[in-house]
């Protein structure tokens, strides 16, 4: 859960008295960090931005922030950004030279 999400849960706890995890689940604030959950979003982002993928592979490492941001947007903030970056790096290396993102 992000810091911002934790603040929302804390506010709700005072009002509802529920279990913190139940509040976070009800508000849809739990982050997804498992590879299976993240891979779909990562693959969708890479497929949607082939030009940026090519530029990244040509050496524009600063595009990693763009890709992480796009995954966060696609996941509606539910993806764990710390887990997204290594997965993106892996997927970008894995598919390099194959013509597929």
Extents of the domains making up the chain = 1-30, 31-101
pTM: 0.70
Looking at residue 87, its pLDDT comes to 94
31-101, which class in CATH? mainly alpha
| 16-70 confidence digits (pLDDT tens) | 677 777 766 676 665 666 788 899 999 999 999 999 999 999 999 999 999 999 9
Residue ranges in the chain assigned as alpha helix (H): 3-16, 20-27, 35-48, 50-57, 63-74, 81-94
Looking at residue 78, its pLDDT comes to 85
**Mean pLDDT, residues 81-99 taken together:** 80
Q: Token digits for 79?
A: 């993806």
CA distance 61 to 78: 24
Q: How many CB atoms lie within 10 A of CB 30?
A: 15
């Amino acid at each position: 859960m992000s810091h911002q999400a934790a603040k929302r849960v804390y506010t709700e706890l005072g009002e509802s008295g529920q279990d913190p995890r139940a509040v976070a689940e009800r508000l849809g604030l739990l982050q997804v960090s498992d590879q299976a959950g993240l891979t779909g979003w990562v693959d969708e982002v890479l497929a949607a931005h082939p030009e940026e993928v090519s530029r990244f592979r040509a050496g524009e490492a600063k595009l990693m922030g763009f890709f992480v941001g796009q995954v966060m947007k696609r996941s509606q903030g539910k993806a764990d950004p710390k887990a997204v970056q290594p997965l993106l790096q892996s997927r970008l290396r894995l598919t390099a030279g194959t013509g597929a993102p």
